[in-house]
Amino acid sequence: MSHKKITFYLSHLYQGGAENVMVIVANEMAKQGHVIDFVLAKAEGAFIHRLSSSVNLVDLNLPNPYFAVFGLNKYLRVAQPDVIISSLHLNNICAVLAKKFSGVKKTRVLIRVANVISVKRVSFWKKRLERLALSVFYPWADKIIAVSKNVALDLNSFLGIPNKKILVIYSPSITPEMMAASHEPVDHAWFQSNYPPVVLGVGRQTVVKDYATLLKAFALASKEKDMRLLLLGDGPERLALEELVKELGIENKVEIKGFVDNPFNYMRNAAVMVLPSLWEGLPNVLIEALACGCPIISTDSPGGVREILKDGEYGELVPLRDAQTISDKILDVLRGEKKPIDEHWLEQFKVEYSIKQYLHAMME
């Protein structure tokens, strides 16, 4: 494949799964010799420093991402890339509209969809409006990349997108840099050899992640066995979670540490990681934890969780919002009931495999 001029578009680079994946894909394509622009509505966010020096950062410097369609339109007319790739709904709509209005025929639009849309818990009218907007604008893309088979099924059944327009490409969650970082020492007292086992939670603290259920499960489990709970990540629910920690009387056993640049060494050294989400597209943290050898407990949520864990073969699947079952499974894992991972299974989530699929999608 000849070298292409490829543009990635997001509104910002604050920490998040979609942002992380887009940075990984951009860096890897730049490494392969493609000319990469990474366009942001506003150049801000903790992940900006993760961009390779070979990637050209373009700042539209807009006060609001809703205005991005105009700035992106102007950018496309000047830069005329071969492909533009976007992720997250607002960014995807901006990308297809900007291409439509720019009049640039050579640029192909690939939009990445990372969640099961139909299960989002929003108001009736907001759900109807979102469904209408996505069903109108998404078919304008040349290809739609679904991060899991369940996301692809949802795009077809809920939005009516033809299957021929949808490609399933798993996220390139496992990289050599990630694996190297997982072997770095953990600078935290709880990971010394004489401390109780550590239960880990990693991700943004939002209602969808349902860390409240994990806190309740931990409160139950820690009555049976001495252990600690460490939450890595930040978000709008953090204050509410800190209040719940106090209500449950587990302040001396729980730390909400916030965002860390390297969660992988925590994964390698934790006794178990729990993902209590209400829904997920393809949770990168599950793949990363598996690669780091960390036992997994996850809710059997709509999306790609079952695909990652091979229907429970490589991790425990539990019902949504079931603190008692999560507590029981935590205790089972700490008693030594672990599910070994087949290294061959992880190949499909490695960056080399994923990038080949992205490049193939650009040519279809």
Model pLDDT, residue 1: 63
- The domain boundary, picked from 121, 137, 168, lies at 168
User: Does one domain contain both 70 and 191?
Assistant: no
Q: Which long-range contacts (CB under 8 A, 24 or more apart) does 191-195 make?
A: 191/266, 191/269, 195/228
User: Does one domain contain both 199 and 156?
Assistant: no
Angle at 110 between CA 134 and CA 307, to 5 degrees: 80
User: Does one domain contain both 188 and 330?
Assistant: yes
The CATH number of whichever domain residue 141 belongs to comes to: 3.40.50.2000
Q: Is 59 exposed, middle or buried (0-12, 13-18, 19+ CB in 10 A)?
A: middle
224 pLDDT more than 80: yes
Q: Is 364 within the bounds of a domain? A: no
245 pLDDT more than 90: yes
Residue whose structure tokens are 């390779």:
52
pTM over 0.75: yes
Q: Is there a contact between 324 and 220 (Cβ–Cβ < 8 Å)?
A: yes
Q: Is 203 within the bounds of a domain? A: yes
124 pLDDT more than 90: no
User: Does one domain contain both 295 and 153?
Assistant: no
User: Does one domain contain both 114 and 130?
Assistant: yes
Spatial distance between the Cα atoms of 42 and 50, rounded to a whole number of angstroms: 16
Q: Is 355 within the bounds of a domain? A: no
User: Does one domain contain both 192 and 307?
Assistant: yes
User: Does one domain contain both 198 and 279?
Assistant: yes
Amino acid at 12: H
User: Does one domain contain both 9 and 151?
Assistant: yes
User: Does one domain contain both 206 and 137?
Assistant: no
* pLDDT class of 38 with cuts at 50, 70, 90: very high
- Residues 163-216 pLDDT 10s: 999 999 999 999 999 999 999 999 999 999 889 999 999 999 999 999 999 999
Q: Is 356 within the bounds of a domain? A: no
User: Does one domain contain both 160 and 226?
Assistant: no
* Averaged pLDDT of the chain: 96
* pLDDT class of 335 with cuts at 50, 70, 90: very high
Model pLDDT, residue 247: 98
User: Does one domain contain both 97 and 18?
Assistant: yes
* pLDDT class of 233 with cuts at 50, 70, 90: very high
Q: How many domains does the chain have?
A: 2
Q: Is 190 within the bounds of a domain? A: yes
121 pLDDT more than 80: no
Q: Is 92 within the bounds of a domain? A: yes
User: Does one domain contain both 203 and 128?
Assistant: no
* pLDDT class of 239 with cuts at 50, 70, 90: very high
Q: Which domain holds residue 135?
A: 5-168
- Residues 267-320 pLDDT 10s: 999 999 999 999 999 999 999 999 999 999 999 999 999 999 999 999 999 999
* pLDDT class of 125 with cuts at 50, 70, 90: confident
CB atoms inside a 10 Å sphere around CB 14:
15
